[in-house]
Structure 1
Amino acid sequence: MADSTRSTIVIQAPAGEVLDVIADLEAYPQWAKEIREVEILSQDGDGWPDRARFRLDASPIKDTYTLDYSWDVDEAGLGVASWTLVEATILKAMDGSYTLEDEGEGTTRVTYDLLVDVTIPMLGMIKRKAAKVITDTALKDLKKRCEA
């Protein structure tokens, strides 16, 4: 059974700048601790990544997986960037989204939703903890990257 988690953080940067960091998938290994490698497989006509392959090491979950992206955002960077799992070895669900909302005065509220499931037997408590660690770390690392 898939486990989901949600976390929110406020970042001291405009939504457009936060979205630029989120959309720069190839730079993830520089700031997202669990992501070891990213390869963009296809882009849409505007240069947004449509499909990308990731190598993840978020103990106890280690996998190489492919995601399809959807970018439902406006020119200011507000809206939702979401992804769905296309293929993986261990993961059977890795669907999620970043929702960016304007908090005023150049700040952005970012909500990260993640649904994770694995093909190997794993206690639900361990899966939930892994999903929560991935989510919390992703937001903290995103905040550090955007505010640097």
Structure 2
Amino acid sequence: MAITVSIELNRELELPASYDEAFDLLADVPASVSHFPKVHKLVDLGDNTYRWEMEKVGVDKHAIQSVYACKYHPDKENGKITWEPVKGEGNGVVSGYWTLKAKGDKATAVKFHTSAELTLPLPGMLKLAISPVIKHEFNSLVDTYMNNLKKAF
């Protein structure tokens, strides 16, 4: 048995960096992911495609791990970085985008959007109880990521 949890997140922030500095960091997937908490391993699959393997959560046979892969498409001219899911990689399907807009020479307005569907090996009756916990954890990870990105500059 398995349950699927859907998550959608939007964030807006201002990075204390020039447009070029901000774009270059966010478009460099390994550099950007180095600021994301609880990533066990980021695997380069080639062609700007990466598999995220998150740290396991739980204990022994009750531990769950989110694994998913995305192909990234940076478009510096239009201020957008998109990612799309790679089918057949892991237990998650994740897509999203960054949009960036310069605010003078030393600041960049950034918007982040992501959608995720995580399929976890849990009994269906747990969905109502576990879904809010997973959504809270994902929100917390993304909030920490946003704070870490601000500190990177």
TM-score for the superposition, normalised by structure 2: 0.74
> 1:85-111 deviations in whole A, cap 9, x for unaligned?
2143332x2112111111224201111
* Higher share of residues assigned helix: 2
1:103 aligns with 2:66: no
How far apart in 1 are the matches of 2:149 and 2:76?
18
Alignment partner for residue 65 of structure 2, among 49, 62, 67? 62
How many residue pairs are counted as aligned between the two chains? 136
Rate the CA distance shift 1:29–1:110 in 2: closer, same or farther, 3 A. closer
> 1:104-143 deviations in whole A, cap 9, x for unaligned?
2420111111112211254332232133123212211111
Rate the CA distance shift 1:143–1:58 in 2: closer, same or farther, 3 A. farther
Q: Which runs of 5+ in 1 are unaligned?
A: 44-48
AA matched with 1:127: I
CA positional deviation for 1:39: 2.8
Alignment partner for residue 134 of structure 2, among 115, 127, 135? 127
How far apart in 2 are the matches of 1:29 and 1:7?
17
Alpha carbons 2:66, 2:118 under 8 Å: kept: no
TM-score for the superposition, normalised by structure 1: 0.76
In terms of Rg, which structure is larger?
A: 2
Alpha carbons 1:116, 1:131 under 8 Å: kept: no
Show the counterpart of 1:141: 148
Q: Which runs of 5+ in 2 are unaligned?
A: 59-63
Alpha carbons 1:13, 1:108 under 8 Å: kept: yes
How far apart in 1 are the matches of 2:105 and 2:32?
27
Structure 1 residues 122-131 or 101-110, which shifts more? 122-131
How far apart in 2 are the matches of 1:105 and 1:19?
13
Show the counterpart of 2:114: 114
CA positional deviation for 1:66: 1.5
AA matched with 2:90: T
Show the counterpart of 1:22: 26
Show the counterpart of 1:42: 46
How far apart in 2 are the matches of 1:71 and 1:13?
18
How far apart in 1 are the matches of 2:51 and 2:15?
27
Alpha carbons 1:37, 1:54 under 8 Å: kept: yes
Show the counterpart of 1:72: 75
Rate the CA distance shift 1:12–1:143 in 2: closer, same or farther, 3 A. same
